[in-house]
Amino acid sequence: MKKWRQDPLFNIDIMEVSSRDNSITFTLEVPRGLIDLKDDTKLEVNITSKEEEGDLVMKGVVNKVDPEEKSVEISFFGLWMRLKYKKSIPFELNEGDEVYLSIKAI
């Protein structure tokens, strides 16, 4: 599932994406007009410690890891991403880690 909506106060789009099995979902703020994707576009999303190529690449810092809520919050220079997971995520994130988010349309 993927949905786009515009923030009513700021010049940003808010992207909501779920994995195929709905075990991981995330909400990401993106500057309006930075990336033009349709709701039916399939995405490849990676969070890594090294920069990778993509249609959208952002560097951020992990602000909060909450194992009880099964959520992670990452700041990309003021833009936010909130990752929620139902089962364990296939990578380790710790508060203060610098990460890269890469999104590719496939």
Mean pLDDT, to the nearest integer, of 56-76?
95
Q: Which two tokens stand for residue 19?
A: 């994995």
Looking at domain 2-105, does it have CATH number 2.40.50.140?
yes
Judged against a pLDDT cut of 90, whether residue 69 lies above it is answered with: yes
Residue count (the chain)? 106
Nearest to 70 by CA among 44, 45, 93, 99: 93
Please report how many Cα atoms fall inside a 13 Å half-sphere around the Cα of residue 88, on the Cβ side: 3
List CB contacts of 66: < 8 A, sequence separation 6 or more: 72
Residue 61 near residue 72, CB atoms below 8 Å = no
Residue 2 near residue 39, CB atoms below 8 Å = yes
* Whole-prediction pTM: 0.87
Residue 5: per-residue pLDDT: 86
Q: Which percentage of the chain shows pLDDT scores above 90?
A: 58
Residue 19, helix vs strand vs coil:
coil
For the chain, domain boundaries: 2-105
